[in-house]
Chains A and B, each alone.
Chain A
Amino acid sequence: MIPIEHILLLSALLFIIGVLGVMLRRNVIVIFMSIELMLNAVNLSFVTFARSLDSMTGVIFIFFIIVVAAAEAVVGLSIILSIFRTRKTLNIDEFNLLKW
């Protein structure tokens, strides 16, 4: 049995990589994939805690997170499709209408 601190560290590392991906990459699709990465990192930490606490609640929660992640990916990608039709580019610096 691996001590859980290692798995938790792995989860944290995956999360940080996801965050960096959101902040530093320019392609919108890549940013989305980074968001999925963040969600998966959290899944991992949930499973770890479920095992170490002898509880099934964590697993149920993972179930829900996966569903939500899928839904959000679907909606997000459809939005990107819609915006792409006007702007013809996937550079996130062009999606700058969220201002005054």
Chain B
Amino acid sequence: MLNAEFVAVIQVLVYAGAIMVLFLFVLMLLSSKDSEQYVNKWSVGKILAGLLSLGIFIQIAGLFTANELQLGSKGEYPLEVVEEVGSITLIGRLLFTDYILSFEIIAILLLVAVIGAVVIAKRRFQ
């Protein structure tokens, strides 16, 4: 409905494909014995947490449904252009021209994260 097919596909691929699989692997490695029963006690903290979250929701909702929701200036890619060129093409074009620096940094970030994860989770061999 929002004409952002690329986002949808990427979300499914990354989250359902990669991150969920990762979680499952980790759960497999964390073989805790019979699953612990967490006793859920009500405490002051939990009630306060609930109230605060409710408060924040009301505030944000109030913000979003204000009468005159003033939006910023319009961009350059109205619906027709996107449908004609194709969202993936547009994203690819923008990534490699206007946002190239951020793209490179993100790549390095991924590399660092992978290396870091391996280092942290390694077993120390004596």
B109 touches A71 (CB 8 A): yes
Residues of B within 8 A of A31 (CB): none
In the complex, number of A-B residue pairs with CB atoms less than 8 Å apart: 156
Interface residues of B in 10-32 (CB under 8 A from A): 10-11, 14-15, 18-19, 22-23, 26-27, 29-30, 32
Interface residues of B in 77-91 (CB under 8 A from A): 77-79, 82, 87, 90-91
* Closest chain B residue to A39, Cβ basis: B15
Interface residues on A, range: 35 or more
Judge if B99 is at the interface, Cβ distance under 8 Å. yes
A51 touches B2 (CB 8 A): yes
Interface residues of A in 71-98 (CB under 8 A from B): 71-75, 77-82, 84-85, 88-91
A81 touches B121 (CB 8 A): yes
Given contacts A53-B75, A63-B91, A68-B109, contact A5 B69 (CB under 8 A): yes
Interface residues of chain B, those whose CB is within 8 Å of chain A, are 1-4, 6-7, 10-11, 14-15, 18-19, 22-23, 26-27, 29-30, 32, 36, 38, 40, 45-46, 49-50, 53-54, 56-57, 60-61, 64-65, 69, 71-79, 82, 87, 90-91, 94-95, 99, 102, 106, 109-110, 112-114, 116-118, 120-121, 123
Given contacts A9-B65, A20-B53, A75-B120, list 11 more A-B pairs with CB under 8 A.
A5-B65, A15-B60, A53-B75, A56-B94, A57-B75, A60-B94, A63-B10, A70-B14, A71-B109, A75-B117, A80-B30
